[in-house]
Structure 1
Amino acid sequence: MPVVDADNKILGIVTDGDLMHRAKAGTERPYSWWLRVLTGDAQLATDYVKSHAVKVKDIMTRDVVTAAPETPLHEIAMLLEENQIKRVPIVNEQGQLVGIVSRANLLQAIASAKPAFEASLPDSIIKRKLLDELRKQPWAHTFNLNATVQNGIVDLWGFAPSVAERAAIRVAAEARATRRKRPCWRS
């Protein structure tokens, strides 16, 4: 939950992580004697405030990762991943909160997205793009692999040492094919 001031400028955010270790819920973080020695009194005091406070200002995360309304979704996904957070508040140029993007919002956008490129590529281009992608991958031993493309359908055959490698090659092919066909591995 974002915390804002009277001008709708973000002051902090209360996350489920901020509420995890609460004394009244019996989830206060226990410390062993050696961890208390290593952690230091300041960290212990900070944890005490988080677990016993009754005001939002005492438990909220103040260093909030935010994004602008124009931020591309892939950049927001990177913010979520790099900062290990579940939500990114969206703020305008004045620093005012205008929305929030969650992991669920990104999944919804991905699930409902139409392919960016609907037009069929020539078979030779599909094959070249597939092989170029596979040559970049250290696990894809392209000398053991052959591919043909006909009417947008990629047909693969050869040898891949593991199920994981076969799956990765299939995914690479599906990402480039314009039509889908059940994979058939031949060796």
Structure 2
Amino acid sequence: MRAKDIMTNNIVSISEEGSIDQAVELMLNNRISAILVLDDDQRLLGLISEGDLMRRMRDRQARHRSWWLELLSNEGAALDYIKTRSARVADVMTRNMITVDEDTKVEDIALTLERNRIKRVPVTKDGVAVGIVSRADLIQAIALSRNGRLPVPKPEDEVLRRQVLAAISTAPGGSVSSVNLQVENGNVTVWGTAEGEAVKQAIRVAAENTDGVRSVQVYMDKVPAWMYGV
């Protein structure tokens, strides 16, 4: 099993010229914790996550360092000021991203996340962003393992996976940014979050109605209230 078999295909992205407010709105509307920063050719420039935004708020509220330390490290203080005060994505995003290829094995992705202490990694093909793999995606893959071995999707399953994702995107509330799935021998397993039971069942029906699908299992949680600002 490789990155392309478990990654979230639908990329929610923003330009580096975008604003922090726009980035926050995209995260909330798509119920995700990070978005990629891409150029006009879909090439990866960086990533901005809820962690970046949380650190931003925490650092703003932190006490100022002593005056003599500030004098000794004006460059560092200036960088901190930019990160916490700028309204531009380009100033806040994480650069120098660690990435994986779409054919990277799941085992290697797990090692990459662990060694670098990161929660997700963008997937690229010829330098172009094509998806993203998170820890949750890895856990979902492990859940489907048998006797310690991950399933190996067939080429036709790879095609079917794309078709099911396209079908789900047409269902009410079926945003593929909050839905991921795996396909093995035509059997589909759907993971993610949904606004309610009706949306969850609509996603199931969309998957079941896709030609070539033999069975569908849906494991979806309800969207937490805080994402609606409640």
Q: Name the TM-score, length of structure 2 as normaliser.
A: 0.45
1:30 CA drift (Å)? 3.0
- SS of residue in 1 equivalent to 2:121: strand
- Name the CA shift for 1:21/1:30 in 2 (closer, same or farther; >3 Å): farther
**Using the alignment, how far apart are the partners of 1:75 and 1:31 within structure 2?**
41
List runs of 5+ in structure 2 lacking aligned partners. 1-34, 150-230
**Counterpart position of 2:63:** 30
Native 8 Å contact 1:28 1:51 kept in 2: no
List runs of 5+ in structure 1 lacking aligned partners. 118-187
**Using the alignment, how far apart are the partners of 2:61 and 2:112 within structure 1?**
29
Q: Are 1:8 and 2:53 an aligned pair?
A: no
Percent of aligned pairs with the same amino acid? 40
Match of 1:114 among 137, 142, 146: 146
1:36 CA drift (Å)? 3.2
**Using the alignment, how far apart are the partners of 2:134 and 2:72 within structure 1?**
32
1:100 CA drift (Å)? 0.2
- SS of residue in 1 equivalent to 2:90: helix
Counterparts in 2 of 1:6-155, with a 5 A limit?
6-22=40-56, 27-33=60-66, 36-37=69-70, 40-92=73-125, 94-115=126-147
**Using the alignment, how far apart are the partners of 1:99 and 1:89 within structure 2?**
6
**Using the alignment, how far apart are the partners of 1:71 and 1:35 within structure 2?**
48
1:31 CA drift (Å)? 3.9
1:12 CA drift (Å)? 0.5
**Using the alignment, how far apart are the partners of 1:78 and 1:31 within structure 2?**
37
Amino acid in the other structure paired with 1:6: D
Aligned alpha-carbon RMSD (Å): 2.4
Bigger Rg, which one: 1
Q: Which shows bigger deviation, 62-71 or 36-45?
A: 36-45
- Structure having greater relative contact order (Cα 8 Å, sep ≥ 6): 2
Count of equivalent residues: 115
**Using the alignment, how far apart are the partners of 1:65 and 1:39 within structure 2?**
32
Amino acid in the other structure paired with 2:113: L
- SS of residue in 1 equivalent to 2:55: coil
**Using the alignment, how far apart are the partners of 1:103 and 1:44 within structure 2?**
33
**Using the alignment, how far apart are the partners of 1:4 and 1:76 within structure 2?**
22
**Using the alignment, how far apart are the partners of 1:46 and 1:28 within structure 2?**
16
**Using the alignment, how far apart are the partners of 1:67 and 1:26 within structure 2?**
31
Which segments of structure 1 move beyond 6 Å, counting only runs of 4 or more? Answer: none
Native 8 Å contact 2:70 2:77 kept in 1: no
Q: Name the TM-score, length of structure 1 as normaliser.
A: 0.55
Offset from partner CA, 1:73-110 (integer Å, 9 cap, x none): 11111111111111100000x20000000000001111
Question: Comparing both structures, which one devotes a greater share of its residues to strand?
Answer: 2
